[in-house]
Amino acid sequence: MVREAVACGVELEVLALREGVELDVPAHRVVTLAERAFASLSQTVTPQGVLAIARRDEVPVAAALAAARAARWPLVVLDGLQDPGNVGTLCRTAAAAGAPAVAVLDGCADPFGPKAVRASAGAVLRLAVARAGWADLAGLRGWGAAATGGQPYDRAPLADADVVAFGGEAHGLRSNELELVTIPMAPGVDSLNVAASAAILLFEIRRRLAT
């Protein structure tokens, strides 16, 4: 993940290595820590022996939208996703599908928090990430993922939208301005994990853009 950050142009302010671990990446300051000291700082049960501190700036909403439009992609919107694991996984999926930008709305977990960055495998650093509210997206055409009641995803013109939005699993989308898109499921199954839903829809967009 640290190598991914450097590959994305992120400057490491501090690189901390556990004794016996080597990593040849540029950093403003490199420190070596004893095993117990390193373990006290790490947030994982089995750390790899590398920690880093870096600054990553968010971008204005207009810049994220411009990046999406330049790539002919909808802006990916995260609305109230409170689980940092879902936020990170969704960002990883967006980057893998080719989406260049995401907008993180109020109530979402921090996409640059440690757990979200780990869940993204560092891929969030490849995205233009903007903080926004629904008011910032007013007037944009888009689709919102819904468990039921939406147009089947294979019929919805997703790639032509300005935004495609994913809401928190507990409360769903907090906007009534979007058309709804639904992934048909087998009888008796009423929902998908939001990150799984995003993978289906974002790679459907990628498929359409490639044809």
Output Rg (C-alpha) for the chain, integer angstroms: 19
Domains, the chain, ordered by start = 2-54 (no CATH), 61-210 (3.40.1280.10)
Per-residue pLDDT tens digits for 129-168: 999 999 999 999 999 999 999 999 999 999 999 999 999 8
Residues with Cβ within 8 Å of 191's Cβ and at least 6 positions away in sequence, in order, are 147, 169, 185
Would you place residue 50 in the very low, low, confident or very high pLDDT band (cuts 50, 70, 90)? very high
Task: Average the pLDDT over 20-40 and give the result.
Answer: 94
Tell me what pLDDT residue 168 has.
Answer: 86
Question: Using one digit for the tens of pLDDT, what is the confidence trace for 88-105?
Answer: 999 999 999 999 999 999
User: Which of 154, 89, 115, 117 is closest to 76 using CA atoms?
Assistant: 89
DSSP the chain: -HHHHHHTTPPEEEEEEETT-------S-EEEE-HHHHHHH-SSSS--SEEEEE------HHHHHHHHHHTT-PEEEEES---HHHHHHHHHHHHHHT--EEEEETTPPPTTSHHHHHHTTTGGGGSEEEEE-GGGGTT--EEEE-SSSSEETTTS-GGG-SEEEEEBTTTB-S-SSSEEEE----TT-----HHHHHHHHHHHHHHHHH-
> In this structure, how many other beta carbons lie within 10 angstroms of the beta carbon of residue 31?
12
Whole-number mean pLDDT of the chain?
A: 94
Quick check: 77 pLDDT over 90? Answer: yes
CA distance 167 to 65: 19
Model confidence at 201, pLDDT cuts 50, 70, 90, reads: very high
- pLDDT score of 171 more than 90: no
pLDDT at 45: 81
Contact present, 106 and 79 (Cβ < 8 Å): no
Q: Do strands 179-182 and 151-152 pair parallel, antiparallel, or not at all (unpaired)?
A: parallel
